[in-house]
Amino acid sequence: MPDASPTRIVADADVLAADVLVGGASRDALDHVRSHSWLTLVASDALLDDAHAVVAALADDDLADAWRDRAADATDRVDHEPGDHPGLASAVHGDAAHLLSFDDALGSVHAGMSVQPHAKLSVRPPDAFARLFDAASLYEAEFDDAYPGPDRDPRA
Partner 1 sequence: MSRPLDAATTPATRTLFDPAAEPSCMTWGDLFDAAADVDVTERDVREALREHREDDDA
Chain residues that interact with partner 1, rule: CB under 8 A: 13-14, 17-18, 20-27, 34, 50-51, 53-54, 57-59, 63, 66-67, 69-70, 73, 102-103, 148-156
- Cα separation of 6 and 117, whole Å? 15
Q: Which lies closer to partner 1 via its Cβ, residue 132 or residue 156?
A: 156
State the first-to-last Cα distance of the chain, in angstroms, to the nearest integer.
33
Q: Which lies closer to partner 1 via its Cβ, residue 119 or residue 156?
A: 156
Helix (H, G, I), strand (E, B) or coil at 100: strand
Whole-number minimum distance, CB 121 to partner 1, in Å?
20
Whole-number minimum distance, CB 95 to partner 1, in Å?
24
Whole-number minimum distance, CB 6 to partner 1, in Å?
20
Q: Which lies closer to partner 1 via its Cβ, residue 70 or residue 77?
A: 70
- Cα separation of 118 and 60, whole Å? 36
- Written as one letter, the residue type at 99 is L
Q: Which lies closer to partner 1 via its Cβ, residue 4 or residue 33?
A: 33
- Written as one letter, the residue type at 112 is G
- Cα separation of 110 and 99, whole Å? 15
Q: Which lies closer to partner 1 via its Cβ, residue 18 or residue 92?
A: 18
Whole-number minimum distance, CB 133 to partner 1, in Å?
18
- Cα separation of 64 and 83, whole Å? 23
CA proximity to 93, closest of 27, 134, 45: 45
Whole-number minimum distance, CB 100 to partner 1, in Å?
12
